[in-house]
Amino acid sequence: MGVDGVSRQPAPLGQAGVGPQADLHDFPGGTIRFLDTLLSATQPFPLVFFCHYPLLNSPISGTHSFSPQEYDRIVSLLYPHRSQVRLWIAGHLHRQADYPITNRATGETLGRCVETPANKEVVQGQFRLFRVWGDATQASALAYYPNSKTEPLGYRLWTLTGQLLYEGPRPPSLSDWPEGVYLLQEQTAQGLRVRAFFVTGTR
C-alpha cells in the first residue's frame, strides 16, 4: 500500500519543490489517520508499504525523514500486525540500504525497511526492482540499469602505481579500499573517462 509522507511546505531558500522533512498529514483524511483506520481492521495478507521516506530509527531522523515521535507513531500502528509486516520500501536518501524496522519500546523487529538509490538527477542514477514472492519475506536484490548514452558501462579502479584493484559493471565501493589516491576509469559510449580521488581514513 502507498503511504503519502511528502511535505506540502515549500523548500527553503527559494529552492524548487518541497522541503526534505516527512509529514504524517495528521488531519481528517490524512495519511496517519488513514493508516490508523486501515490497520485497526484485521489484515489477512502480508503487508508491503511504499513510501518516499524510509523508517529511520534515529534521534536525528527528522532532518530528512520522519521524526522519532512520528516513527514511533507509525510503528505503534504496525506493531499489532507485526507477524504480517514484511517490507517498507522507500527512497529519498538515494542510497542502497536494508535494515529491520524496530519497535523502540520493546526492541522487537517487524519487517524490513529497504531503500532504493533511485535518482534521475545524476549521471549515475540507479533504480531498484523489487520482486516479492511467497509470504513476502524475500525480495530481489538491487538491479542496476545504466543509460548507455550518458552513464559508464564499466569501471576499473587503479592505484597510482598501475595496479588494477577492481573491474566490473558497477562503481566500486570506497569503503573496500584503504586510505590513498586512486584512479577510477569509466568506460562510456563516448570513450574512456578517468577520475582521480583521495580516500580518507575518516569516511
- Confidence class for position 197, pLDDT limits 50, 70, 90: low
130/141 Cα distance (integer angstroms): 7
Q: Check pLDDT > 70 for residue 179.
A: yes
Sheet holding 164-168, edge to edge: 164-168, 154-159, 180-188, 191-199
Q: What is the reported pLDDT for 125?
A: 57
Q: Which amino acid is at 114?
A: V
Angle at 184 between CA 183 and CA 189, to 5 degrees: 140
Domain layout of the chain by residue ranges: 2-115, 154-199
111 and 132 Cβ atoms separated by less than 8 Å: no
Q: Check pLDDT > 80 for residue 127.
A: no
- Write out pLDDT tens, residues 23-75: 999 999 899 999 999 898 888 888 889 999 999 888 766 677 898 899 999 99
Which of 11-20, 107-116, 133-142, 168-177 is the most confident on average? 107-116
Three-class DSSP category at 68: helix
46 and 86 Cβ atoms separated by less than 8 Å: yes
- If we measure between CA atoms, which residue out of 84, 79, 86 comes closest to residue 103? 79
- Confidence class for position 202, pLDDT limits 50, 70, 90: very low
Q: Check pLDDT > 90 for residue 139.
A: no
Top pLDDT among 191 and 74 is at 74
137/63 Cα distance (integer angstroms): 30
Centroid of chain to Cα 106: 25
Helices H / strands E in the chain, number of each: 2, 9
Q: Which residues contact 99 (CB under 8 A, 6 or more apart)?
A: 112, 113
Top pLDDT among 75 and 200 is at 75
How many other C-beta atoms lie within 10 A of the C-beta of residue 111?
23
CATH of domain 2-115: 3.30.750.180
Length of the chain: 203
- Confidence class for position 134, pLDDT limits 50, 70, 90: low
Least confident of 12-16, 105-109, 146-150: 146-150
Q: Check pLDDT > 80 for residue 132.
A: no
182/200 Cα distance (integer angstroms): 11
Three-class DSSP category at 136: coil
- Write out pLDDT tens, residues 80-126: 988 888 889 898 887 778 888 999 889 998 888 888 877 666 555 55
